[in-house]
């Protein structure tokens, strides 16, 4: 009975946690949730190519490198929509530089784009790729939380083609706007704002209002409860939360170290060596944290397949964690 009571107390506090997000939006049979979220974003733009998704099918998120020493990609969610276009959806909750996320988006796009053509095919067979990023930091200093990027001709503001189509949702900007519009009722805000309110909200009263105003979000909330009742899913969620906290702690430590180094006025050569050592230490610390998390999940009896899915780790890392003292 006590065990059941503990399960009833479980709550998803971070719906953008990738373990939960992928289960809600990336599970077969859940296509309608992803379609609604994406269409709510696309319908906000009245210029450029109009995108309306009727159906979609999930794709394998693993993309192999082109060369032996190339960098492989593992997308958060990937799907093909009814017109044949490919969509990649990425969540970035940890702090990152705007330049890094821009370059990563271009890199992922290049992998997806070349995937759409085979040797001997005509280039006309290449399909447009839509890259969607939800990030927990600002890309720039303007006030718009939803942005769209395409290749344009500067002097005539003309699009080269529709094959590159990038969308960004910047959550800090959205939170500011939603706070300023807090006097509006849930029924008055548009579909995209309802989804973002659900994905980032923690107020039970607000969630209850969403449940009554949007049938799909009501279904998502019902799924959320089932998700927390499943032990393997719940541990997967908790481990991802722990990984976020660990990484944030490492990043905050790195920032303090850099700030202290600057305050002491280190010479340029020493500062470069300090930065290199810091980067190495940060990577080593992240690796140790991952191995400890794997070891902890193995101890409680979680199977290796679930651990790989929850922590995005490799078979080699699991074996290394098993050998830890």
Same domain, 141 and 30: yes
Give the domain extent around 37: 2-229
- Please tell me whether residues 178 and 239 are part of one structural domain: no
Asked if residue 309 and residue 193 are part of one domain, the reply reads no
Res 22: pLDDT: 95
Indicate if 141 and 272 belong to the same structural domain.
no
Q: Say if residue 119 is in the same domain as residue 256.
A: no
How high is the pLDDT of residue 61?
A: 77
- Of residues 199 and 250, which shows the higher confidence score? 199
pLDDT of 135 reads: 94
Q: Tell me, yes or no, whether 138 and 283 share the same domain.
A: no
Rounded to two decimals, the pTM is 0.77
* Banded model confidence at residue 218, pLDDT cuts 50, 70, 90: very high
Backbone angle region of 48, left / alpha / beta, with phi > 0 → left and psi within -120 to 50 → alpha: left
Q: How far apart are CA 255 and CA 263, in angstroms?
A: 12
Task: Please say whether the beta carbons of 16 and 91 come within 8 A.
Answer: yes
Mean pLDDT of the chain: 83
pLDDT the model gives residue 9: 82
Residues 221 and 243 in one domain: no
Q: What is the mean pLDDT of residues 59-81?
A: 72
pLDDT at 168 over 90: yes
Gap between the Cα atoms of 216 and 47, Å rounded: 27
Q: Are 254 and 109 in a shared domain?
A: no
Per the CB < 8 A criterion, the answer to whether 57 and 80 are in contact is yes
Which residue, 186, 209, 229, sits at the end of a domain? 229
Inform me whether the pLDDT recorded for 89 exceeds 90: yes
Per-residue pLDDT reduced to its tens digit, 25-64: 999 999 999 999 999 999 999 888 899 999 999 998 777 6
* pLDDT over 90, % of the chain: 42
Domain boundary among 229, 245, 274: 229
Domain boundary residue among 204, 229, 254? 229
Nearest Cα to Cα of residue 61 among 93, 41, 91, 38: 91
194 and 243 share one domain = no
């Amino acid at each position: 009975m006590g065990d059941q009571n503990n399960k009833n107390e479980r709550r998803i506090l971070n719906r953008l946690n990738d373990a939960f997000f992928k289960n809600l939006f990336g599970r077969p049979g859940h296509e309608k949730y992803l379609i609604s979220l994406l269409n709510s974003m696309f319908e906000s733009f009245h210029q450029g190519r109009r995108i309306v998704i009727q159906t979609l099918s999930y794709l394998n998120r693993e993309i192999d490198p082109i060369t032996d020493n190339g960098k492989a990609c593992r997308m958060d969610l990937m799907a093909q929509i009814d017109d044949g276009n490919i969509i990649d959806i990425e969540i970035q909750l940890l702090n990152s530089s705007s330049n890094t996320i821009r370059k990563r988006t271009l890199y992922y796009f290049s992998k997806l784009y070349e995937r759409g053509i085979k040797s001997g095919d005509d280039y006309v067979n290449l399909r447009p790729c839509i890259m969607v990023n939800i990030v927990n930091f600002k890309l720039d200093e303007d006030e718009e939380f939803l942005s769209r990027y395409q290749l344009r001709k500067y002097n005539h503001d003309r699009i080269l083609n529709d094959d590159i189509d990038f969308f960004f949702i910047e959550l800090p900007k959205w939170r500011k706007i939603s706070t300023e519009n807090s006097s509006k009722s849930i029924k008055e805000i548009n579909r995209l704002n309802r989804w973002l309110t659900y994905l980032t909200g923690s107020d039970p009263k607000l969630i209850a209002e969403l449940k009554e105003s949007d049938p799909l979000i009501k279904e998502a909330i019902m799924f959320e409860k089932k998700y927390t009742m499943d032990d393997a899913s719940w541990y997967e969620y908790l481990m991802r939360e722990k990984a976020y906290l660990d990484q944030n702690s490492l990043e905050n430590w790195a920032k303090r170290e850099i700030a202290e180094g600057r305050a002491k006025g280190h010479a340029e050569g020493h500062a470069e060596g300090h930065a290199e050592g810091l980067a190495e230490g940060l990577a080593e610390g992240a690796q140790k944290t991952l191995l400890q998390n794997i070891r902890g999940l193995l101890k409680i009896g979680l199977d290796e397949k679930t651990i790989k899915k929850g922590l995005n780790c490799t078979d080699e890392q699991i074996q290394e964690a098993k050998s830890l003292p």
